Structure 1
Amino acid sequence: MGRADVGRADGTGRHGAWGVVAVVLLVGVHLVRGGAEELRAAGPPRPPAAAAPGAARAEAAVLAPASVPGPLPASPPVRVRVPAVRVDAPVTRVGLDADGWIEAPPPEDDRLAGWFTGAVTPGERGTAVVVGHVDTPAGPAVFYDLGAVGRGSRVEVLRRDGRTAVFTVYGVEAVPKEGFPARRVYADSGRPELRLITCGGAFTEKGGYEDNVVVSARLTGVR
């Protein structure tokens, strides 16, 4: 895992997620070496475009509802739910350590997701980032099935202020960690967006997982 090269995403003084992407959820690379052989052989679910060599990556946008909610004020996430793949996980904060590396959710709790504090909170204008392990030596972890999420699926983020930010998935892709397109993935679109990220793709003992699975979603409701 390389050192994060953090830039700014907007003029607010927040750290952007550009450059952080390349390492943010590659934490699993260092934490899955003792995983079960049968799990590593089969691998976690892969997005359809990644499973079909040469297929064009789908980029169809989600049709906007009649009334699109405006951005929410800042409020940290406390729980993330992805009903389509049975994810219902508490969220902790993850940031950068003293050496500029992205911290990972504690490996002893494989059902825990992490919100990257260098980006916006889910529901704010900008791109929020939530990461999670794909597996651990004990087996599948919180985001093991992330690659099976389909476009149009719902992601719910419960925030500390009691509101639930509801996002609709418009893109699911497996991106090689070599040459990761951080600016494209984390760019500020001018509206509230969310990225869920974990490891994926082929696994080798030497290099770990080859890819990142990235789920892209935009805010379509507030409860």
Structure 2
Amino acid sequence: MLQIKRFVCNVIQENCYVVSDETQEAVIIDCGAQFEAERQAIKNYIESNHLRPVHLLATHGHVDHNIGNKFVFDTWGLKVELHKDDEPLISTLSEQAEQFMRQELAKDEQPPVGRYLEENDTITFGTHTLQVIETPGHSQGSVFFWCKDEKVAFSGDTLFRNSVGRADLPGGSMFLLIQSLRMVCQLDDDTRILPGHGEETTVGRELASNPYLDR
């Protein structure tokens, strides 16, 4: 069974998740840890539960979901894995940090990408597998990480509780976002949705209450 711990990070209140199972292997999803206290909280949780992080994943390439990548690389040696279509975003983290967070981020200190993902790629850890579902719209390379066996999906900024991500940033498209939503709403109604911001929800709840989502 998956153990999922959420950390709300940075000035944009982004959700970073540490996901583990009984083997104590773990993945870190969307490490937006901007401040030292946030990074220490993540490190303390991992160490106190004797977890071994084996993947750093990003649902997309925006800085609020990736500003902690260097911290993860320096601490556990992991390089971020994200969809290939967000390569233009992940390569401009320093510019994004200055624009959206008013923070300087040394470009030459950012670790390289470890792996570019595509539709149906899988990420394995412990006894579990996450499948990549392409959900362009918020960004060109936005994805869901879906664990079919546990009926849980990490939606990044594609789908929120009662809302969806913005599509007016570079690479965004409301048309593609709506197409992505129509596709992911085919997941089982009891699938848990763990978004990049805000509280978790389920596919069924969003089908019933989210104005952007229909079958």
Give the TM-score taking structure 1 as reference length.
Answer: 0.29
Structure with more helix by fraction: 2
Higher relative contact order (CA 8 A, sep 6+): 1
Structure with more strand by fraction: 1
